[in-house]
Amino acid sequence: MNAPHPPKVAGIDPTVPSPAHTASPSSPVSGTGPSSDTAPVPAPHAPAPGTLLQDRLAGWVSDLTTLHELTERLIRTTALDTALQELLRAGSFLVGARRGLVALEPGDGLGPRTTRGLGLGRADLGHIETVPRGALPYDTGGGAEILHPDLFAEDGLDPRHREVAARLGYAASYALPLATDSAGRLGAAVWLYDEPAEPDARRRHLAGLYVRHATEHLARLLEVERTRASMATITEELLPSRLPRVAGVQLAARHRTGPRGGGDWYDALPLPDAALGLAVGSVTGSGPSAVAAMGRLRASLRAYAVMEGEDPVAVLSDLELLLRLTEPARSATALFAYCEPALRQITLAGAGHSPPLLIGERRTEFAETSVSAPLGMLACWEAPSVEIQAEAGETVLFYTDGLLHRTGDPMDRAFARLHAAAAGVPRAARRDPGAVADHVLRTVLPDAPEGRAPAAGRPHAGPGDAGGEDVVLLAARFD
């Protein structure tokens, strides 16, 4: 029977003897030393203390350089998912493993809870998650490293863990907790070896230093992610929970929240005499203050629209006066349209806002609106209203400037891109205003999340896709 082989030390080659330090051969002295045809044999001796210190210092410098490069790459990540993947890649390099996973389970219970893998697909992660909690190759509740140098030679290994390890082809694992005193407990990271192995003390020390630094960075990104999610939720709750049903017109809305939370908004409300009020707008700034200002402005516009909605100029004039008196340091753009679906007639006024698009079988064009300053920019705002006559089957698309700004193009090219996207809406999609909005959003901003129809009338709000500003689209298709 063959003797059992000890597990390998991960990432370390078989032991190779260091070259011996030898003294230079002495020159023979005539008549006293060995004969001239006999060379002196150098005697090995212990390396000088200075040489050992230099070698040790060189090793420390190399380790610190590696650690510095890896942490520099980590701190350049600004998204939580990207940071988790960078943590796994750097950790696999440090401990000499090929695969791994990180389980993010914040100890405060506020989330988000997620699992990311390196060299492991979703099905592989699902198999690992079937292992009983106490038998996992990692423990998000513990505070120490967990080492399994040879899973199949380990006594007492959970049968399900053994089955999963055999199925996925890993024979050893090394786990570190994501926990520090300041950041608290965030979860754990584990790296998997294809055969029995374990990192040596040096690699474990470097991995520990790196993971502690990574935990602090992840805690900061986690806080940012939570803030973004909260801002997106607040913004969504301040917008209409459902769009009204009015005879003669179909409505759809799409909203994309910027990473900092912005003040873009839309509204649709039934008015007397079977009329409909449609509005889009944007408040300057970002963050909680802009979201709060947006909520106040939208609520005020709803009140003015109910009182004098048939006169859009009067609605925006009242809104401008309110903004100037209550929030003199802030400005806003807005567009309000009074729609009579039975006549397919729209009367609208805009304050510094981009013109809506008319999308139909025979035309795709921007509506001609009067040029006006944003609200709060002039001592007294007023601009003439314009009337638009829509045809049966046409869609009027309202949008905020964030749609144009996110393209990164100059405004003339951004308008051209928007017009081309609207003109390219497939004929089959023109019957659905939601499909029209999705096509325009997907074409103008190809990197934005896929638009989808809102459930129960609620528009989809992305958690903060690429780009710095909010985007709002409001589509009204006339029968």
In sequence order, the β-bridge partners of residue 386 are 348
Give the pLDDT band of residue 101 (cuts 50, 70, 90): very high
Give every CB contact of residue 369 below 8 A, 6+ residues apart in sequence: 335, 348, 349, 350, 355, 356, 386
Give per-residue burial for 359-385: e unless 16+ CB within 10 Å, then b. Answer: bbeeebeebebeebebbbeeeebebeb
Give every CB contact of residue 324 below 8 A, 6+ residues apart in sequence: 375, 376
pLDDT of residue 74: 94
d(CA 367, CA 337): 12
**With contact defined as beta carbons under 8 Å apart, do 21 and 47 qualify?**
yes
- Rg over CA atoms, the chain: 34
pLDDT of residue 372: 79
Give every CB contact of residue 17 below 8 A, 6+ residues apart in sequence: none
pLDDT of residue 203: 93
| 87-96, 136-145, 316-325: least confident range | 136-145
pLDDT of residue 432: 93
Give every CB contact of residue 65 below 8 A, 6+ residues apart in sequence: none
Q: Where are the beta strands (DSSP E) in 287-405?
A: 332-340, 345-351, 357-359, 364-366, 386-389, 395-399
In sequence order, the β-bridge partners of residue 56 are none
If one compares 7 and 213, the residue with the highest pLDDT of the two is 213
Q: Which burial class, exposed, middle or buried, applies to 403 when counting CB atoms under 10 A from its CB (0-12, 13-18, 19+)?
A: buried
Model-level pTM greater than 0.75? no
d(CA 304, CA 136): 60
Q: C-alpha distances in angstroms, 190 versus 128, 133, 388?
A: 12, 14, 62
pLDDT of residue 329: 83
Structure tokens at 190: 């584990």
pLDDT at 174 over 50: yes
Give the pLDDT band of residue 475 (cuts 50, 70, 90): very high
In sequence order, the β-bridge partners of residue 471 are 256
Among 348, 349, 339, CA closest to 477: 339
CA angle 114/236/431 to nearest 5° reads 105
Please state the rounded mean pLDDT for residues 79-108. Answer: 94
Structure tokens at 155: 């006594």
Please state the rounded mean pLDDT for residues 430-456. Answer: 73
Could you give the residue range(s) of every CATH 3.60.40.10 domain in the chain?
239-478
Give the pLDDT band of residue 256 (cuts 50, 70, 90): confident
**With contact defined as beta carbons under 8 Å apart, do 251 and 222 qualify?**
no
pLDDT at 3 over 80: no
| 67-71, 83-87, 303-307, 381-385: least confident range | 381-385
pLDDT of residue 454: 36
| Residue in the block written with tokens 């100890």 | 107
As its CATH architecture, domain 239-478 has 4-Layer Sandwich (3.60)
If one compares 236 and 465, the residue with the highest pLDDT of the two is 236
Could you give the residue range(s) of every CATH 3.30.450.40 domain in the chain?
59-230
Among 262, 291, 396, 391, CA closest to 335: 396
pLDDT of residue 385: 86
Q: Which burial class, exposed, middle or buried, applies to 283 when counting CB atoms under 10 A from its CB (0-12, 13-18, 19+)?
A: buried
The distance of Cα 203 from the centroid of its chain, to the nearest Å, equals: 31
Give the pLDDT band of residue 304 (cuts 50, 70, 90): very high
**With contact defined as beta carbons under 8 Å apart, do 210 and 70 qualify?**
yes
If one compares 171 and 449, the residue with the highest pLDDT of the two is 171
112-132 pLDDT, tens digit each = 899 999 999 999 999 999 999
pLDDT at 28 over 70: no
309-337 pLDDT, tens digit each = 899 999 998 998 888 888 888 889 999 99
Give the pLDDT band of residue 447 (cuts 50, 70, 90): low
d(CA 229, CA 235): 10
pLDDT of residue 49: 67
Among 443, 429, 348, CA closest to 395: 429
pLDDT at 29 over 50: no
DSSP 98: S
Among 355, 360, 460, CA closest to 418: 355
Structure tokens at 407: 């393209």
pLDDT at 241 over 70: yes
CATH homologous superfamily, domain 59-230: GAF domain (3.30.450.40)
pLDDT of residue 42: 53
State in Å, rounded, how far the first CA of the chain is from the last one. 86
d(CA 182, CA 195): 36
Count other Cβ atoms within 10 Å, centred on residue 389.
10
Q: What percent of the chain has pLDDT over 90?
A: 50
H-run or E-run covering 215: helix 201-238
pLDDT of residue 287: 78
Q: What percent of the chain has pLDDT over 70?
A: 83
Side chain identity at residue 68, one-letter code: H
Peptide bond between residue 112 and the one before it cis (omega within 30 degrees of 0): yes
Summary mean pLDDT of the chain: 82
Please state the rounded mean pLDDT for residues 434-463. Answer: 62
pLDDT of residue 451: 38
